[in-house]
């Protein structure tokens, strides 16, 4: 289990620029689909609500993400800053994925994040809705991993 508790810049208090950077770093980490790497952005005692599931601490985060990415195949995510305060950020996001039967979905949602002084997320509250889509309606076609800088974001895609 990862035990790295070092600071994760950018640190609060956030500005528009640092909040946007924090959102992009989170998007990049989730697009890696590496549960251990992703978990290091969260405080060891981090609390989540993801849909109807409640998750506590890095060990549960890693287990959750392993289950998630075993089900949500070819996952691609875009996040966008919605609002921020000193140590909180609100984002909206959409991701595309398919199940093991080849059924495609676009999942839309909002997250509220709260950070400790080291820039580790201590609270994550996510609301998510899944929309079945045709494979031909997909908008995210980049190779697995980080979204290319030239790829449109949510606003540019009209989401």
Q: Specify the CATH number for the domain of residue 34.
A: 3.10.450.50
**Torsion region of 18: left, alpha or beta (phi above 0 gives left; psi -120 to 50 gives alpha):** alpha
Residue 98 covered by a domain: yes
Alpha helices in 1-146 (DSSP H): 16-32, 35-39, 57-71
The pTM of this model reads 0.96
Q: What is the domain count for the chain?
A: 1
Q: What is the pLDDT of residue 5?
A: 79
Q: Identify the domain containing residue 118 by its residue range.
A: 16-137
What residues in the chain have per-residue pLDDT under 70? 1-3
Residue 153 covered by a domain: no
Q: What is the pLDDT of residue 86?
A: 98
């Amino acid at each position: 289990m990862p035990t790295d508790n070092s600071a994760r810049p950018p640190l609060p208090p956030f500005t528009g620029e640092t909040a946007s950077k924090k959102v992009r770093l989170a998007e990049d980490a989730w697009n890696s689909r590496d549960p251990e790497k992703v978990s290091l952005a969260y405080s060891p005692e981090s609390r989540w609500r993801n849909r109807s599931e409640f998750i506590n601490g890095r060990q549960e985060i890693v287990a959750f993400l392993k289950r998630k990415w075993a089900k949500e195949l070819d996952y691609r995510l875009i996040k966008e800053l919605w609002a921020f305060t000193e140590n909180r950020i609100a984002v909206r996001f959409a991701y595309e994925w398919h199940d093991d039967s080849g059924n495609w979905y676009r999942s839309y949602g909002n997250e509220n994040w709260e950070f400790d002084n080291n820039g580790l997320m201590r609270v994550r509250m996510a609301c998510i809705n899944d929309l079945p889509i045709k494979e031909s309606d997909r908008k995210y076609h980049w190779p697995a991993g980080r979204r290319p800088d030239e790829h449109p974001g949510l606003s540019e895609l009209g989401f």
